[in-house]
Amino acid sequence: MTEDNHSLTTEFILTGFMDHPDMKTLLFVVFFAIYLITMVGNLGLVALIFKERRLHTPMYIFLGNLALMDSCCSCAITPKMLQNFYSEDRTISLHECMAQFYFLCLAETADCFLLAAMAYDRYVAICSPLKYHTMMSKQLCIKMAIGAFIAGNLHSMIHVVLLLRLTFCRSHKINHFFCDVLPLYRLSCVDPYINELMIPIFSGSIQVFTITIVVISYLCILFTIFKMKSKEGRGKALSTCASHFLSISMFYGSLLVMYIRPSSVEEVDKDIPVAIFYTLVIPLLNPFIYTLRNKEVMNVVKRIMKKRKPANILKQISSTVTT
């Protein structure tokens, strides 16, 4: 197929969720609520960790960066998706498409490394508590967080650069609610074999590397927990790690199904449900998973709420007036 016989596509139409126009109001309300809660939850968690000095520890620094990346993921996808529910013009340019995928890939890749760093942090805290402050110094923690962002940028740039070698002439309709690489490969009039090959090589390598760190860390944690004599200490350690492992399992499971499953490029119908889970649902759940089961964060929130009570505000005002 030559480019001379086909007009090249520079704009696409996102057709995800457009098969059921009678449900667009319900879908708009649901996804808008998810977006609002996600942004408030994640950015609120970032602000809380930034403001509260007692939360300036490695675990919460990683958690704050994870919440920031979840916000980035949601911002890259949801506004355009919400606009398309009621807009007659559902087009997105090729450059906008690449930018959307770039920020999504950046967020998801950084999340992989941040979750691995959090698992290692829990391993050191539970298995070597006396060496924790030397093994997990603030400088090392910041370097690991910066490394996660650098890895995310490099991984995103590789796939975006590979997209530039493709030309699109088969169709201008993307059967998805955002610009992912798999739907774009289906529209390419150039053989996307190299692009398809790079997904399991780079994405697979990143996931295998980070999953290995997570699995080894949690196996060591479990062995240490089972050796504990104190039931209270054992329960506290299990409770702390349970929320981390739940988030990790959901995140990696959905990514593996999406990008590493066999013949993923041809299985169009499976893309959207899995993509909803790892781009919208997980960023929504993470703030609740990590805060509701975390007594330290909840204590900070309760203390801030007490300070903001109307009665306390009136007392501060009256004391100011009397002085």
Residue holding tokens 């109001």? Answer: 25
Q: Which of 122 and 171 is assigned the larger pLDDT? A: 122
Task: Find out whether 203 and 44 touch, Cβ atoms under 8 Å.
Answer: no
Lowest-pLDDT range, 26-35, 39-48, 210-219, 241-250? 241-250
Mean pLDDT of 121-139: 88
Task: Find out whether 252 and 207 touch, Cβ atoms under 8 Å.
Answer: yes
Task: Find out whether 283 and 247 touch, Cβ atoms under 8 Å.
Answer: no
CA 69/CA 277 separation, integer angstroms: 16
> DSSP string spanning 259-299?
IISTTTTT--TTHHHHHHIIIIIHHHHHHHHHHHT-HHHHH
Strand order in 91-93's β-sheet? 91-93, 11-14, 173-174
51: buried, middle or exposed (CB in 10 Å: 19+, 13-18, 0-12)? exposed
**Collapsed DSSP state (helix, strand, coil) of residue 7:** coil
Lowest-pLDDT range, 50-64, 77-91, 245-259, 299-313? 299-313
Mean pLDDT of 89-102: 89
Among 112, 125, 86, smallest CA distance to 260 is for: 112
Element (H, E) at 11: strand 11-14
Tokens, residue 232 = 């209270």
pTM here? 0.86
Q: At what angle do helices 24-51 and 295-307 cross, to 10 degrees?
A: 90
Task: Find out whether 171 and 149 touch, Cβ atoms under 8 Å.
Answer: no
CA 29/CA 283 separation, integer angstroms: 18
Q: How does residue 116 score in pLDDT terms, banded at 50, 70 and 90? A: very high
